[in-house]
Chain A
Amino acid sequence: MSEFKGVWIFSEKFDLTLEMLGKAREVADKLHSKLSVVLIGSDIDERVNELVRHGADKVYLASDPALERFQVETYLGVLHSLVANYKPEVVLIGSTKNGKPLASRLATRLRVGCVPDCVRLDVDGEGRLVCERITYGGSAFAKIAFRGKPQIATVPQRAFEKPAPKEHDGQVVKIDVKIEPAGTEVVGVKPLGSSSVRIEDAEVIVSCGRGLQNKEDRVLLDELAQALCGQVGCSRPLAEDRKWFSEWVGLSGHKVKPKLYIACGISGVIQHVAGIRDAKVVVAINKDEQAPIFEVADYGVVGDLYQILPALKEAIKKHVQ
């Protein structure tokens, strides 16, 4: 008999915590166990109700002025002592740039496994958590189970739907926290202008790659996207090397699920394609008929994007009217 019981979730990002609640509820139900959230911060008591309405049976509340900002060592100290004490069988942690090292160090401190960036979660016949993640640069999905407990997995943003709130009974457990000293000191924070539109929510995405010659030519994509009521995206080199965009689509960028994805001047390397697997219809426009993007597209046009895009905009306008 396992002494480990219960499904727990933690993320320093509240939205991601809510997203994880839906999937975690399913996992907890399959395991016939309770679903708990660990809430860490300062002045956060009013969030408890929202967590309960989204499915939490229990909220472990660690509130302290010293916990106002995420610091990996201090948060790890709180989470580790809770997990060591209450022994949940599953711990899901939000896979952010801060959450992932937190999960990894928690797993290391407990000498257990950690499966990062899970896009699917299930429970097998033996009551083990089975995680699915993208691996080998987007060429494959790996299904992974654990050999010990707690089973620690991280969940990326927007992998799961936030559940609808409803009446639910939940309990709050207030934690006396011991603050562990941080090994690093934050000396400055510069918020990035976050785009108000989330590309994950876009129904239509017109995306460009290195086939786009100049930054100004982006207007071709903007106009087509506008005609389709969609958004513009790009491959990584346009953001990372050329700095024309701040975010990109793909394995190391955003994973999108539009009805329509139009890839213009994108070669279709696996790392890019890993981000568009969930698109309903993929269109590729590329002047190289050997480009791998045609292998993963529903409709392919061999041609120059500078000629096709303006023509396509006109054709679409005609049909939408």
Chain B
Amino acid sequence: MRRIIVCLKQAVDVAQLKVDAATRQLVTASAPRKMSDFDKNALEEAVRLKEKLGDTEVFTVTVCSEDAKSVLREALAIGADKAYSVNDAAFSGLDTFGTAYVLAEALRKIGGFDLVLCGETSLDSFSGLVGSRLAELLGLPLVSSVRKISVEGECVVAERSLEDAVETVKACMPAVVSVTREINQPRIPSLMMIMKASKKEIVAWSMADLGVSKELLEPKIEVVEVLAPKTERKKIRIKGENATEIAENLAKALVQEGVVGR
């Protein structure tokens, strides 16, 4: 039986993030969380591979410092067979190294996998480092920025979406693959799938279960500040009786700004 493990992040839903106008601080603590979009693409792809290849199981692993039940349930509803939650309050300040390190230890403990799938980057921090750090820590080949994937025997063949080319790459399994959002359109689980998922297993581990070294969890970077940018836009409404008049008023304003004409 083939085993695919998908790394899933519970991310801040950036679309619902509020900014404190006075301090320009983000109100992240109370912001809703959701499954990071790119990881959802990775999960969808894993489930599609399972459907296509047969004799395959899909597990998910989530490293978090807060409750992620609803994300894990969603993953099971989309089609994962089992979800691992590695949850510990001590993980709250993890940087990309720490996250990859805990993931690597969890993957080692689960073992027996052929393919590790993850999103190319995450919805909230947008760093895009964890997949490659994980490959390095596990000593596995990495195929990043993948927009199409197939399994051929003991290898994966994948199309990588580069800036100026599409590169087709072959790697022997086990391998780590990170996917782009182009790769698929994730399904929306039906009520049936959601109900079926409630019977599936969620395995809960803490830091102690993995025996990770505290020292390696120390962040290697220091976030000095996170501030919303100052938006100093004029916010002027251009009005008029009809399209022609509006257009004329807008054109005049743009000429005055010195951005139209010479």
Contact = CB atoms under 8 A, between A and B. Distances in A.
Given A111-B220, A144-B221, A319-B261, A303 B246 contact: yes
Interface stretch (A34-42, A128-136, A165-173): A128-136
Nearest to B255: A319
Contacts of A260: 254, 257, 259-260
A147 B226 CA distance: 18
A186 B231 CA distance: 45
Interface in B155-170: 157, 160-170
Interface in A110-150: 111-117, 130, 134-148
B50 interface: no
B220 A311 contact: no
Contacts of A186: 167-169
Given A105-B132, A108-B97, A315-B251, A298 B236 contact: yes
A319 B256 CA distance: 11
B186 to A, nearest CB: 13
B260 A228 contact: yes
Interface string A179-209: 0000111111111101000000000100000
A36 B199 CA distance: 58
B90 interface: no
A139 B141 contact: no
Interface residues of A, number: 82
Interface residues of B, number: 82
B230 to A, nearest CB: 10
B161 A184 contact: no
Contacts of B141: 73, 183-184
Interface in B98-149: 100, 123-129, 131-133, 135-137, 140-145
Interface stretch (A21-29, A50-58, A277-285): A277-285
Interface string B64-101: 00000000000000000000000000000001110010
Contacts of A204: 259
A240 interface: yes
B14 interface: yes
B170 A187 contact: yes
Contact of A105 (B15, B133, B161): B133
B110 to A, nearest CB: 20
B19 A115 contact: no
B231 A104 contact: no
Given A139-B17, A260-B259, A308-B243, A144 B224 contact: yes
B261 A320 contact: yes
A184 to B, nearest CB: 4
Interface in A58-113: 72-73, 96-98, 100-101, 104-105, 107-109, 111-113
Contacts of B32: none
A159 interface: no
A149 B142 CA distance: 25
B165 A191 contact: yes
A44 interface: no
Contact of A301 (B165, B229, B250): B250
A30 to B, nearest CB: 17
Most buried by B among A72, A107, A146, A315: A315
A270 interface: yes
A318 B254 CA distance: 13
Given A140-B226, A311-B248, 7 more contacts: A111-B216, A112-B97, A190-B168, A283-B250, A308-B246, A316-B251, A319-B251
